[in-house]
Amino acid sequence: MALRSNFGANNARTVIRRAQWVSLGINPEDMERPKVALVNTSNDLAACFAHLDEIVNVLKTRAYETGLLPFEIRTAAPSDFVTSAGKGGRYILPSRDLITNDIEVMVEGAQLDAMICLSSCDKTTPGHLMAAGRLNIPTIIIPCGYQRSGLAEGGDSDVEEVFFKSAVQAMDGKIEDDVLRQADDAIRSPGVCSGLATANSMHMVAEALGMTVPHAAPVQANSEHMWDVVDRSVDAIAVAVEKNLTPRRIMTNASVNTAVRTMLSVGGSNNTIKHLQAVAVETGLDIDVWETYRKLGRETPTLCSIRPNGDHLVEDLEASGGAATVLKELLPLIGGDQLTITGKTLVENLETAKPADGKVVRPLDAPLSTSPAIVVVKGSLVPEGAVVKRPIPDPGPFEFTGPAKIFHSREEGIEAVSRGDIQPGDVAVIRGLGVTGGPAMGMVSAFIFALNGRGLSEKVAVISDGQLSGLVNRGIVVGEASPEAAADGPLGRMQNGDQVHIDLITGTVDLLVDEEVLAARPPYQAPPATEDFSGLLDQYRATVQPLACGAVLCGNGPCSAPKA
């Protein structure tokens, strides 16, 4: 087998590597083996990553037994609940691209032959998939599982419930003892958040793309099921190396369509849109993922209702067959002839999938709903698009018209809620938080929770160019509005009192201001910065592409998404 990691016996680089690796205890006879990066995102900052070192130790032994030579590498690893404390949460989205670049430096620099990526919290999975598309060497994703939660084990709360309650009570200046008690009991094991927010959604996306072994997600961390996925993944990557099953053979327009259908059918995280677009750009695909969600959202029935969208737990989804069962139900819509990392087609991988149980996973001909839970909207206010997350089933409202009240940070908006300055019928606009203006997409979810705490979430519409947690699905909340205010689009030129019309049935968000009047207004001026964004965030601002391109960094591939 010709391997790029082997330079030949008479090459000086071979001699230098031998000196390094023998000192690490590697047998010289093993140095001709395929060299596989074990991409670890372990750290001590959050429960999401606490079990990954144990998985790596098992992988090292199993990979060696399979004829591979494993090397552990590490990358940045953010947790939305921990790493969002600094700079208003602006490190979260850039960390995705930092993970991708970390992998490139270590894997491409060392000319390793393949990757096993241990995916956990929100940005690790898209970072791993983006690196796979960029480097195009055999790669497999291992979803490392969700945490056991208090809510699933007889307690009062999981981490998402605690976050919501504490955000509301913090607005009044005192977090009550019962919330503190629930916080102490919410997380009962390592792993990512237990609902179908971004982490578990992206784990399912990886399976839908064909980049995991079948029956891989969702999975409880450290369970027998997870260890089975780990074991099968080693066998699969060994075959993938032998057959040169590279990501660009697997991640195609068809497989991206499959991932979109999967997310629509389960009401996954709204953040999957920009992450899938970024994966497409890094993989060199010519596909507009935003428009794909918009089009397929009106053609894909909803089959599941999992927290935070509904009453079922993610444990229920796993027990009912998980992504494999959902994909099996979707086969009439997706075909299933796409290649996967196992060397088999998707439909071949799904031969052992459970049928829909009719309760947690509904059959295609008896769905929960035909209204999309992830609604991509466009219109005169957001000509490049925006996203609205909806509950399942969706009780409405589906339409809203009201005057704009503009704020320039989530904190400014929360203060207005506390003062009673936002009234029923208003359209609260938080702008200047986009990928460039933020920089790096400030989080606005706490503002939504504040509205809900005042009983306004169903009475006030929200529009922002910032990003939203996958938990936000109450009321009409339009997030990731594009073009962002800093790009001098309509969002940047709108003024207090302008009428806004939102229609989720037609998928439109319109600014009811004459085009000539809007054009005559001065361009958007950002308020004076209250924080220093030098360093990584300033570099990100200078290099990031628009959301229509998945917010990838300049130079990471051409953007195939059309601009308005």
The pLDDT tens digits of the residues spanning 183-236 come to: 999 999 999 999 999 999 999 999 999 999 999 999 999 999 999 999 999 999
Q: Is 469 a catalytic residue?
A: yes
Residue 291 burial (CB count, 10 A): 15
- For position 563, what pLDDT does the model report? 36
Over residues 270-321, the pLDDT tens digits come to 999 999 999 999 999 999 999 999 999 999 999 999 998 888 999 999 999 9
**Which residues lie across from 406 on neighbouring strands?**
429
Class level of CATH domain 378-530: alpha beta
User: Which segments of 182-312 are extended strands (E)?
Assistant: none
SS3 track for 443-507:
ECHHHHHHHHHCCCCCCCEEEECCECCCCCCCCCEEEEEECCHHHCCHHHHCCCCCEEEEECCCC
- For position 562, what pLDDT does the model report? 38
Task: Spot the catalytic one: 79, 305, 469, 482.
Answer: 469
Q: Which two tokens stand for residue 25?
A: 């205890």
pTM of the model as a whole: 0.96
Instruction: With a cut of 50, list the residues of the chain below it in pLDDT.
Output: 560-564
Burial class (CB in 10 A: 0-12, 13-18, 19+), 347: middle
Domain locations in the chain as residue ranges: 33-148+189-352, 149-188, 378-530
Burial class (CB in 10 A: 0-12, 13-18, 19+), 300: buried
Q: Which two tokens stand for residue 473?
A: 């699905």
Per DSSP, the three-state class of 241 is helix
- For position 231, what pLDDT does the model report? 98
